[in-house]
Structure 1
C-alpha cells in the first residue's frame, strides 16, 4: 500500500475538510429546504384534507337530515307499507326536487329497488352495493360514495320504520365538476376524484387541465428529496390521496395536489453563493496547510519512534521532544505519563489476572497454573476445599456488604494458616497446607475458620464443609483435581461433620447423578414409557370402602434400570427438573382418573407436590384447566405435601395452599411427625388431612411408644377438625387399633401394594365387598 508524507496528508485533509464542509452545508441547505417544503406542503395538504372531510361530512349530515324528513313522514311510510308505488314515486320526486337531491330511491330490505328518480337505479334491479344494504340493516343507515351511469354520487341509506324496518330509503348528491371547483376554491389545492373497479378507472373528475394532469407526481410529502431542487425536476405536483369508499371491488379516492415549482425558486442563488465561498476557503486552506504540516511533522516523527519503543516494552526515556507548539509539548508530556501508566497498569493487570479482587487470594486461573506446575514437578500435596454452606442465605439475610466481609475474613484466616490459598468462586476456597494435616488437625482448622464473625451489630456464624484430596493419588492434573474437589465438597455438605476425604466412589455417584438427570430429562421430554404411575388404595375406616388412592411415580430406565423415586425425585429437585416431573405426574394422573371413572371406579386420587410446586404461580391454573378438559371436578383430586416442605417457606406455602383449598382440592400433610415434630402451626395451616409417617405405623401393634405417638396425633388432628391417614399398615392388628382410635383412612401392604392403573381397576372390583376388619 502506497504511503504519503505528513505534508501530503495535511494537504489532503485540509482540502478534504473544506470540501466536506461545503458538501455538508449544501446538504444542510438541501435538507432544511426539503424539510421546510415538507412542513408547508404537509400543513397545506392536511388543512385541505380536513376541509374536504368537513365538506363531505356536512353533505352527509344534509343527506341524513333530508332522508330523516322523508323516512319520518307518516304519509310516505303509509305509502311504503301499503306498497302504493304511485305515491312513493311522487313523494321521492317531490322530496328530491325540494332538497336538491340528484338521486332518490326506495329499496326493499333485501336490496331490491322498488322506486327511483335516477336512470342508474331502475326498479326491479338489485341495489349495486349490497354491503351498504347490510350495513343499513345492522346500523340503521350507512353513507358511501358510489358510481352510477359513469357519474359519482354521495349516497346515504336510511331505514324506513313503522315501527319495525319495512324498507330502505336512498338519497344522494352528485359529485361533479362544480363540486370539485368549490373544493378547490376552499382548499386552494387541485382536486381530483377517481373511482376504480378491479384497478380499472371507471370514473375520473379533476380540476387539473389535461396538460397539468400529465405532469410528474410525487405521492405525499415524504416523496420529496433533494432531487426536487433540480430545476428540471421542479414542474411536478405533490399529491395526497384520501380514500372515500372501498367495497365490492370498487375504490373511490379523492386526490389533493399542490405544485412544487414555487417552493424552490430561490435555491439556485443560494447554491451559487455557497459554491463561491467554498472555492475561496479551499484556496486559503491549502496555503495554510502547507505551512502547518512542516511545523508539526518533525516532532511528531520523533514521538512516533518513541511510541514504537514503548510498545516494545522499553520504558527508559526521560525526555521526549521540545516544541513551541503547545499541543505537541502536551503530547510529549502525555507520552511520558503514558509510559509510566502503562508500566504500572501492566503490573496491575498481571495481578488482577491472577488474583481475586475481593479477597486478594489467587483466583481459579492462577491456582490452576500453580497446581499444574506442582504436578509437573511430581510434588506430593494435600489439597483442602472449603465451601461456605448456604452462602447465598448469608447475602440474603445480612446483605451483600456483610457477605463480602465474611469472604474477606475467611480469606484472611486461611492466609494466616500459611501455604497456598485461592478463591475458586462464590463461597468456595482452596487451600494447600505447607505440611499435610491429620484428621484432628483438619477438624481444628474447620472450627477455627468457622469462628463467628462480628459484622456491624450482628454476629454471623458460618457453616463450612471441607473436602480433602491427597495428590497425586486422588488427582494428577489441575482439571481433574478441581472437578473431584467439587464432587467431594458436595458430598461433605450432606454429612453431619461436613468434612470428608475424597473416595473413588464419589465419581461413580457423580456419574450416576449426571446420568439420572440426563435420562430423566430425556424421558420427560419424550413422555417415555419408562415413566409410569402406580396407585395404592386408601381404606375408609368408617365405611370399610376404598374411596381414595395415592398416585406414585415409577421409573424403569432402559439404561439405568429401576430408579427409586426417593433417589430421582431428590435429584430432580436439585437439578431444577421437579416442575417438569410434577407436570408429567399431574397430566398422567388426571388421565388415569378419567379412565377410573369410566371403569366405574370412583376414587379420589392424591398427588404428591413439593414446596417448589406449590410456589409455582401457574401450576394451579394449569391443573384446573386440565380438570375441565378431562370432565373432572376438584373433589376427584387431592394433593399431599411433605411436612418439612411446609415449614421451609411457611408464609409463601401457606398462602398458595389456601388457593388450592379455595379451589376445592383436599390437602394433606405427608410424612407427618418426621419433620419439626411441632403441631403449633396446625391452627393456621390450610389443609384437610394429616398423613402419619409409616415409621410410626409399621410396628404399631407391637410397639407401645408408636401407639402413644399415633393415638396422640389422631386426637390432636381431630381437635383441629383434620382427618388422619395412616400409611404403612401391614398387619390386621394395626388396622384394628387405627379403627378403634378413630383414624379416618389406612394405607399399606395389608390392602395392596402400589399397582398400575389397569391392575388397580381389577383390584378395586375384586375387593369392592371385602370386609377388611374380619380377614
Structure 2
C-alpha cells in the first residue's frame, strides 16, 4: 500500500469534502431558493390578508366610535324621538361630513328606512337586510358588509337609546375601486373583491386589468416550481382567497394576487451567482467556521432564542450568555435592558388603561369588566354611588388643583374600607363593598367622607349624596347598573336626600323628566301654542282698584297633558334652558302689556325670575330693548324673585337688582318668611315690595299664630319703607284684616284665580267698580 504525505491526504480529504459540500450546497440552494420564494410569496399573501382584515377592523372601530358619538348626542336623540326629519338629516349630514362617511342613515326598529344621507335608501321602504337591524336592536349594535344599490359598504349600526332603543343609526364607508387601489399601495398585491348573492356574482371590484381578473382568480391555490417559472413561464399570478363576510345568501370573497414574475425576475441570475460563489464561500467557510462558530454562532443562537421568548411576552427570566466577544455581551445587556423596559411599560400601560390617573381608582371601563364578573358569580352584592355636591363650584372657588386634591382624599377614604372603587366622571365615585353595609354604617361612612379636607391652601368641606343598588335585584348587568346609578344619584340631588335606595319609580320620573325636556324644547323652539300666560289680579287695598297682576306660565302638551310649572320649571333649571322660558315669558308679557296700554288699562305685570335669570348680565339690557321697541314705560313691568334664590349669592344678587331699580323697575321678594336669613340682608336688598307667602295667609282669619307672623312682616316691611303683597286670600275676613294692618296689595282666589289674558280683560272691565271689602 503506497503511502502519502499527511498534508496531501489532508488536502485530498479536504478537497473531496469541499467538492462534495459544494455540490450539496448547490443542490440545496436550488431547492431552498425555490422553497424560500414560495414561502415568501405565501407569507406576503398572508401578511396582505392580515393587513386587509386589520384595515377593515380599524374602519369598523372608526365607524363604531363615530356611531357612538352620534347616538350619544342629546340633540340627535331628541330629534329622533320627536321625528324631526330635517334635524335628523342635518345631524347625519354634518356627522357624516366630519368622518367622510359614504352612507348615513336612520332605520326604525321594525326595519323600515326613515331617512338617509345621501338618499341611497328610499324613505319608508324596508331596509334590505332586516336581520342585521334585528341583531342591532337585540345587541345594541351590529356591523357587516352590505351590498346596497350595487355598491358594497362596510356598515356599523348602533341603537339610539332614550333610554330604551327608539331607532337604529347606520354609518357606512363604501368599498370601491379607489379603496382597493389604496390597499394595493400598502400591500403591493392585486386585490379582487367579489360580491355574490343567490349564487351569482353581483359585483366585482379589482385592481387588476379586466382581462387579467379571471386568469388571476383561476390561479387560486397554485403551487410554484422553479421549472415552471424558468422554462415555461406559465404562472403569472399566485392568489389567496378567503371569505370576508356572509349574510344569508349574500357573501363577500376577497382574492389577493401576487405577480410572480416580478418576484422571480432575478431568480436565474441569482442562481448563477450563487453557483459561482458557492465554491469560494465554502472554502472560506471551511477556514473560518471552526474558528468563529463556537465563539459567535452559539451565543448568537442563544440570544435569538431569548429574543423569541421576549417576543412571546415572557419577561421574567434572566439573560445569561457566556461569550468572550464584547459585542455579544453588549447585545445580551441590551436585551436584558429591553426586557426590563418592556415589562415596566406594559405594566404601566395596563395600569393606566384600567385606572383613573388622578385617584388611582378603577376607571369606568375596567369597573364594568369587574362588575360583569361579579354578576356572573350570581351572588348578591351592594353598589354605592357617591356624588360630590357642587364639585364644579369647588373647582371654580378653590381652583382645579384643590378640586383634584379633594377627589384624591375622598378616594383614599373610600379605599380604606376595602372593596372595589371607581371614578365614573367628575365628582362621581362608585364603591362595591366586600360585605353588606347597614344604614348606620352608611351614615358613618358618609360622615367620614364629609370631614374637612385640608389642602394646604384651604379647608374644604364637601357634601356628598349616596345612591344604593342591591344587585342583581336592582340591576342585572354593568350597563344597566351604571344607568340606574345615574338615575338614583340624580334623584338624590332633586330630592336632596343624601342617602337613597334605588326604586323603580325613580326611572319613571327620570323618563318623564326626559320627556318634559324634549317636549318643552320643542314648544319653545317651534313657537307652538302650548305655552300661555295666565294672570292673577292684585287688589290695591288703598284705592280698591286692580293695579297689578302676576304673570303665571301654563303648559298644556299634546302628549304629556297639563304639566305643572313646579315640574317643568325645575327640570328646565336643571337642564340649563330656564333662560329660554324666561325669554318667552318676557316677550309674551310685553305683548300683553302693549294690549293693556292700548286698551287704556293702567295695570303693571309682575314676572317671576329665577336665580339664574337674576345673575344673567344680558337679561336687563334685553328687557329694556324690548320695552323701548314697544314704547312701554318701566312701570308696565315689575319682577319677583324667591327669597331662597337670593341668599345663595347675595352680593351679586344685590348688584344685579340695583341695576333693575336704576332702570325704574319695581322688585318684590316672593314667598317672604319661608327663608332662613332674610333679616340679615333685607336692609341691603334694593327691593320695593315683600310678598307674604300664602302658607301664612290661607287661614289668617282663624289662626292667631299666622296673624302675629303676618302683622310682624307688615310692620317690618314698613320699617324698611317697603310695600307688602299678601297672596293666598280666600275670604273677605282675611282681606279686611290685611287692610286694617296696612297691607298695600292683596292677591288670591277670593278676588280671582289666574285667568287667560282675554278672560282677565273681561274680568277687569266687569269688576272696575266692585268693592271687595263690602262684597
Same fold (TM over 0.5): yes
CA gap of 1:495–1:578, structure 2 versus 1, over 3 A, is: closer
Contact 1:320 1:336 in 2 (8 A): no
Instruction: Give me the whole-angstrom Cα distance separating, in 2, the residues matched to 1:756 and 1:321.
Output: 99
Q: Which residue of 1 aligns with 2:615?
A: 615
Contact 2:363 2:424 in 1 (8 A): yes
Shift of 1:589: 0.7
Q: Which residue of 2 aligns with 1:743?
A: 743
Contact 1:606 1:638 in 2 (8 A): yes
Shift of 1:432: 1.5
Q: Note the 1:465-614 alignment, pairs <5 A.
A: 465-494=465-494, 498-614=498-614
CA gap of 1:587–1:467, structure 2 versus 1, over 3 A, is: same
Shift of 1:489: 1.9
Instruction: Give me the whole-angstrom Cα distance separating, in 2, the residues matched to 1:635 and 1:408.
Output: 54
CA gap of 1:546–1:321, structure 2 versus 1, over 3 A, is: farther
Q: Note the 1:363-402 alignment, pairs <5 A.
A: 363-402=363-402
CA gap of 1:497–1:548, structure 2 versus 1, over 3 A, is: closer
Q: Note the 1:323-722 alignment, pairs <5 A.
A: 337-456=337-456, 459-494=459-494, 498-722=498-722
Q: Note the 1:232-247 alignment, pairs <5 A.
A: none
> Quick check: which has more Rg, 1 or 2?
1
Contact 1:599 1:761 in 2 (8 A): no
Q: SS of the residue aligned with 1:413?
A: helix
Instruction: Give me the whole-angstrom Cα distance separating, in 2, the residues matched to 1:619 and 1:644.
Output: 20
Instruction: Give me the whole-angstrom Cα distance separating, in 1, the residues matched to 2:321 and 2:724.
Output: 92
Q: Which residue of 2 aligns with 1:761?
A: 761
Shift of 1:737: 1.0
Instruction: Give me the whole-angstrom Cα distance separating, in 2, the residues matched to 1:401 and 1:711.
Output: 51
Residues 3-23 of structure 1: per-residue CA shift (max 9 Å, x gap): xxxxxxxxxxxxxxxxxxxxx
Shift of 1:768: 0.7
* Unaligned segments of structure 2, at least 5 residues: 1-36, 38-295
Q: Note the 1:308-319 alignment, pairs <5 A.
A: 313=313, 315=315, 318=319
Q: SS of the residue aligned with 2:645?
A: helix
Instruction: Give me the whole-angstrom Cα distance separating, in 2, the residues matched to 1:440 and 1:684.
Output: 44
Instruction: Give me the whole-angstrom Cα distance separating, in 2, the residues matched to 1:549 and 1:618.
Output: 25
Instruction: Give me the whole-angstrom Cα distance separating, in 1, the residues matched to 2:410 and 2:474.
Output: 26
Instruction: Give me the whole-angstrom Cα distance separating, in 2, the residues matched to 1:608 and 1:615.
Output: 14
Shift of 1:484: 0.9
Shift of 1:465: 1.3
Shift of 1:389: 2.2
CA gap of 1:673–1:317, structure 2 versus 1, over 3 A, is: same
Shift of 1:597: 2.0
Instruction: Give me the whole-angstrom Cα distance separating, in 2, the residues matched to 1:742 and 1:699.
Output: 18
Instruction: Give me the whole-angstrom Cα distance separating, in 2, the residues matched to 1:544 and 1:703.
Output: 25
Shift of 1:321: 14
Instruction: Give me the whole-angstrom Cα distance separating, in 2, the residues matched to 1:589 and 1:497.
Output: 37
Q: Which residue of 1 aligns with 2:99?
A: none
Shift of 1:332: 9.1
Contact 2:692 2:726 in 1 (8 A): yes
Instruction: Give me the whole-angstrom Cα distance separating, in 1, the residues matched to 2:669 and 2:475.
Output: 46
Instruction: Give me the whole-angstrom Cα distance separating, in 2, the residues matched to 1:753 and 1:329.
Output: 97
Instruction: Give me the whole-angstrom Cα distance separating, in 2, the residues matched to 1:620 and 1:324.
Output: 85
Contact 2:306 2:319 in 1 (8 A): no
Q: Which residue of 2 aligns with 1:15?
A: none
Instruction: Give me the whole-angstrom Cα distance separating, in 2, the residues matched to 1:333 and 1:665.
Output: 83
Instruction: Give me the whole-angstrom Cα distance separating, in 1, the residues matched to 2:451 and 2:659.
Output: 44
CA gap of 1:668–1:330, structure 2 versus 1, over 3 A, is: farther
Shift of 1:542: 0.7
Instruction: Give me the whole-angstrom Cα distance separating, in 2, the residues matched to 1:606 and 1:452.
Output: 43
Q: Note the 1:216-295 alignment, pairs <5 A.
A: none
Instruction: Give me the whole-angstrom Cα distance separating, in 1, the residues matched to 2:645 and 2:497.
Output: 24
Contact 1:319 1:336 in 2 (8 A): no
Residues 293-319 of structure 1: per-residue CA shift (max 9 Å, x gap): xxxxx99x9999998876654657949
Shift of 1:635: 1.2
* C-alpha RMSD of matched pairs (Å): 3.1
Residues 363-421 of structure 1: per-residue CA shift (max 9 Å, x gap): 11111001111112322211112222223333344444443333223222222222222
Residues 229-260 of structure 1: per-residue CA shift (max 9 Å, x gap): xxxxxxxxxxxxxxxxxxxxxxxxxxxxxxxx
Shift of 1:338: 4.1
Q: SS of the residue aligned with 1:773?
A: coil
